[in-house]
Amino acid sequence: MSVAGKAAAAAAIAPGVFLHTMGNAAPRAEAVTDDVRYGMLIDTSKCADGCSDCVSACDQENGMDLLIKPQGASDEDWARQKPRWIRTVKVQDNLTGKVTSLPMLCQHCEHPPCVDVCPTGASFRRADGLVLVDRHTCIGCRYCMMACPYKARSFIHENVQLQRTAVPRGKGCVESCTFCVHRLDHGGSTTACQDACTHDAIVFGDLKDPDSRISKALAEHSSTQLRADLKLNTGVRYRGI
């Protein structure tokens, strides 16, 4: 399923089937700089209970829907071992009893513990704020998975038959949400989860651009980091939690 499209959108060509394309531009010509910092604001009050559109979109965009349970594995084991970059979590406040749904993903911290602990430097933070894994250097030790305070990373436990050319993966390496870097590096500016969310709960953009939708939204209402006491300065912020 290789892609060589020109349009910038993910067009639905049949129910549940998306024609995925990358951005319309050529790959970046210059190195990324820290003039941009990508981030995300999640408004949990808009996240609908029972909805997992962001999860399905991410699975499709990043090739996780192509992974099949290894023959001989139980369904429960596969559920625990298959990768997941974004997940929905439903929580209830201990005091008020209020129930909130929210998507949980890699927080793209400014001071990522996963980058600190990676012995080979495969887990790294790009200048524009994306925290990624260099799959050439990853030795699969899973120390980053131990270190991540958000349990955002996944390990590939099985041989991979089908994958998207834009999102390569292999057995024995660790991966997590890339903020759809393959789109961003080809002229795109949105993530699959943001595009898929019909409730407008996910806003993605440039935190350093004061005119971006996310910056304005952050300025307008208060938001918080998860596990703020760790002082990681996450790129993902939550409102309503």
Partner 1 sequence: MKKIQYREWGIEAPRYWGLLAVLGAIIAVAGFAVLHMEHEGHWVTGMNNQIVWGTPHVFAIFLIVAASGALNVASISSVFDQKLYKPLARLSGLLAMTLLVGGLLVLVLDLGQPARLIVAMTTYNFKSIFAWNVLLYVGFLGIVAVYLFTMMERKANSYTKGVGVVAFVWRLILTTGTGSIFGFLVARQGYDAALLAPMFIIMSFAYGLAIYLLVLMFTFNSEGRALGDKILGRLKSLLGIFVSAILYFVLVYHLTNLYGTENHEYEAFILLNGGVYTATFWVGWVLLGMLVPMAILFHPALGNSRGGIVAASLLVILGGLAAMYVIVIGGQAFPMPIFPDKIILESGFHDGVAGAPLYYSPSLPELLLGIGGVTVALTVTLVAVRMLKFLPASLADEVVDPHHG
| Contact set with partner 1 (CB under 8 A) | 52, 55, 70, 72-73, 77-84, 87-95, 99-100, 104, 113, 115-121, 137-143, 145-151, 153-159, 171-174, 226-227, 230, 241
Element (H, E) at 236: strand 236-239
Cβ atoms of 101 and 240 within 8 Å: the answer is no
Identity of the residue, 109 or 167, whose beta carbon is nearer to partner 1 in the bound complex: 109
Within 10 angstroms of residue 174's Cβ, the number of other Cβ atoms is 25
Task: Pick the closest to residue 67 from 46, 49, 85, 89 (CA basis).
Answer: 85
Least Cβ distance, residue 98 to partner 1 (angstroms): 9
Identity of the residue, 30 or 75, whose beta carbon is nearer to partner 1 in the bound complex: 75
Identity of the residue, 174 or 184, whose beta carbon is nearer to partner 1 in the bound complex: 174
| DSSP-assigned letter for residue 214 | H
Least Cβ distance, residue 139 to partner 1 (angstroms): 4
- DSSP β-bridge partners for residue 133: 123
Identity of the residue, 176 or 212, whose beta carbon is nearer to partner 1 in the bound complex: 176
Long-range CB contacts for residues 84-91, cutoff 8 Å, separation at least 24? 84/55, 84/59, 84/154, 85/58, 85/152, 85/154, 85/175, 85/176, 85/177, 85/178, 86/54, 86/55, 86/58, 86/177, 86/193, 87/55, 88/47, 88/51, 88/52, 88/54, 88/55, 90/49, 91/241
Identity of the residue, 34 or 116, whose beta carbon is nearer to partner 1 in the bound complex: 116
Helix (H, G, I), strand (E, B) or coil at 115: helix
Identity of the residue, 90 or 213, whose beta carbon is nearer to partner 1 in the bound complex: 90
Least Cβ distance, residue 165 to partner 1 (angstroms): 21
Least Cβ distance, residue 30 to partner 1 (angstroms): 25
Tokens representing 99? 């129930």
Least Cβ distance, residue 87 to partner 1 (angstroms): 3
Q: Torsions phi, psi of 90, nearest 5? A: -115, 125
Least Cβ distance, residue 43 to partner 1 (angstroms): 17
